[in-house]
Amino acid sequence: MEMNFEESLTELEGIVDKLEKGQLSLDESLMHFEKGIKLVRECNTKLKSAQQKMELLIEENGQIKEEPFEVK
C-alpha cells in the first residue's frame, strides 16, 4: 500500500533521525539511506503533482481568473 505524503515524510524524518544518531552498522545505514532516497523521490513526485493541480483564483476587474500556482 502506497503511503500518502505525510506518512512518507514522517518515515523519512525517522530515517534521518536514525542516521544522525550514528548508531547503525554500515549495512543498516546504507539500507536506511536507500529507503530515504526513495522516499525523497516519492515526496517530490507528490509535491510536483499537487503543484500542477493547484490553481489560484485571482480577482481581476471583477472577474475570476485562473492562474497556475507556482511555488517559489
Does 50 score more than 90 pLDDT?
Answer: no
User: 43-60 burial by CB neighbour count: b if 16+ within 10 A, else e?
Assistant: beebeeeeeeeeeeeeee
* Domain interval for residue 51: 5-68
3 state DSSP class of 58: strand
Confidence of residue 39 (pLDDT cuts 50, 70, 90): very high
Does 2 score more than 80 pLDDT?
Answer: yes
Mean residue pLDDT of the chain comes to 85
Model pTM? 0.71
Confidence of residue 65 (pLDDT cuts 50, 70, 90): low
Contact yes or no for 12/3 (Cβ under 8 A):
no
Contact yes or no for 36/16 (Cβ under 8 A):
yes
Residue-wise pLDDT for 3-25, tens only, equals: 999 999 999 999 999 999 999 99
Say which residues have a Cβ less than 8 Å from residue 68's Cβ, sequence separation at least 6.
54, 55, 56
For the chain, what is the domain count? Answer: 1
